[in-house]
Amino acid sequence: MTDQATTPTPDTDETPVAAPTPADAPTPIRATPGVLEGEEPSVEALERDWQRDGGEVPSEEPLADPAHGIVEGEALLRVSGLKKHFPVYGGLLRRQVATVYAVDGVDFEVRKGDVFSLVGESGCGKTTLGRTVLRLVEPTAGTVHFGALDVTRLKSSELRRLRSKMQIVFQDPFGSLNPRMPVSDIIGEGLIAQGLTDRKARDRRVGDALEAVGLRRDYTRRYPHEFSGGQRQRIGVARALALEPDFIVLDEPVSALDVSIQSQVLNLLLDLRKDFDLTYLFISHNLSVIEYVSDRVGVMYLGQIVELASSEELYRSPRHPYTLALLSAIPDPDPRRRHKRLVLKGDVPSPVNPPAGCHFHTRCWLREQLGNPEQCVSAEPDLRELMPGHKAKCHFAEQVSGAKAAEFAAEHSTVVPAVVDA
């Protein structure tokens, strides 16, 4: 008996391995119960499906374009005082015993046509912030304005219609695609939810989205296991593009890919931004990737934005001690060059019990260099503007400099040569 297993195909234009035989092929999940493969779902069936899931039937009236009249350079998304706190339950009666301050008072705006990036260590709240902006998780407090709409106040039916304008590409290209659904259903599912019941029109939109991301139209009947990681991520991008959005959250879209494939996907995303007039919220922990794609950057630490600036200004003149420590961790491609790195002491504090005052004071190299001033512990700093467009959340931001960091690194023996001189 021969082995029928298929192998993933590389990110090239070559045709993937043939689809599995019907006996091996997984059964697709139908988008609408009671509708067979190839059958046109009726409006009544779609309504039954939405009502069964506890949702409301979408209104026949189209949602007014919230981005209408906003030109490039003006704010498309405005986030103010956004918080997301998760309760922690414990004890026999499962009472709330603590709170996780995942996002704790965030303010920023994303200009139309820009790539605004969030960077920080794992667990700092980047992904939770991106999901809260889209209301994939409900915010605890704060507002999110998309154009003229306050997203936090929309009803479920209005929010459903807004989904076509605000989309997300998830981090994991393997876990974010249903393995039991063919590509046509994966991409077309959102179109059905938006009321596009015409099968031919839906298939045309799916094929156009696949071509836009560099995949062929005849891939629609294949399943996720037949594609490589990079191709799966392209399918995830196509799923977002099919709804013709204005704004996309990119949640670490290349972190799970090989380095050689990362550049292809990044260049694809930048090309799509120009071709479709898109605006991105880009989330990553890779500072080199952030520098390559970003117009503006927000640095997050323990649920808060601690520095906000243009990409060029942030990398040239960081004004928060945490930002400078992150930049010092970027590896140098020249192995012969000595690399000075600021090694932060201790671990990131728990978001369940963040430190008083400045959240960063327990690991701050600048505070130690200044003689441990009490102000860092007793008062929380504001995210204040140091120069036009450049903000930092530090009491002593004006004293942050590369010279001070180098001095501190030399005193604490954190200079690690890549190659020892002969």
What's this model's pTM, rounded to 2 decimal places?
A: 0.82
Residue 256 and residue 172: Cα distance in Å, rounded?
A: 6
Tokens of 277: 């007039």
Tokens of 138: 């409900």
* Adjacent-strand bridge partners of 98: 88
Strand order in the sheet with 384-387: 166-169, 247-251, 279-284, 115-119, 296-301, 304-310, 390-392, 384-387
Q: What is the crossing angle of helices 259-276 and 229-241, to 10°? A: 20
pLDDT in tens, 118-128: 999 989 999 99
What one-letter code names the amino acid at 6? Answer: T
Each domain of the chain, given as residue ranges in start order, spans 313-417
Q: Determine contact, residues 386/317, Cβ cutoff 8 Å.
A: no
pLDDT in tens, 213-250: 999 999 999 999 999 999 999 999 999 999 999 999 99
8-state DSSP, 252: S
pLDDT in tens, 400-419: 886 777 677 666 644 443 33
Find the helix or strand (DSSP H, E) in which 253 lies. Answer: none
**Runs of H (alpha helix) within 277-374:** 287-293, 311-316, 321-328, 365-369
Residue 333 and residue 337: Cα distance in Å, rounded?
A: 9
Q: Determine contact, residues 31/45, Cβ cutoff 8 Å.
A: no
pLDDT in tens, 355-406: 999 999 999 999 998 999 999 999 999 999 999 999 999 999 999 886 777 6
pLDDT band of residue 5 (cuts 50, 70, 90) is: very low
Check residue 419 and give its pLDDT.
37
Q: Is residue 254 pLDDT above 50, yes or no?
A: yes
Residue 18 and residue 62: Cα distance in Å, rounded?
A: 41
pLDDT in tens, 157-191: 999 999 999 999 999 988 999 999 999 999 999 99
Rg, Å, the chain Cα set? 24
The residue behind tokens 């498309």 is 76
Q: Among 138, 103, 143, 76, which Cα is nearest to 305's?
A: 103
Q: How many helices (H) and strands (E) does the chain have?
A: 13, 14
* Adjacent-strand bridge partners of 390: 387
Check residue 3 and give its pLDDT.
47
Q: Is residue 43 pLDDT above 70, yes or no?
A: no
Q: Could you tell me which residues come within 8 angstroms of residue 58 by beta carbon, excluding any fewer than 6 positions away?
A: 50, 157, 160, 161, 193, 194, 195
Check residue 222 and give its pLDDT.
96
Check residue 331 and give its pLDDT.
77
Q: Is residue 141 pLDDT above 60, yes or no?
A: yes
* Adjacent-strand bridge partners of 299: 119, 307
Mean pLDDT value across residues 92-117 = 95
Residue 183 and residue 218: Cα distance in Å, rounded?
A: 10
Strands annotated E in 252-318: 279-284, 296-301, 304-310
Check residue 71 and give its pLDDT.
83
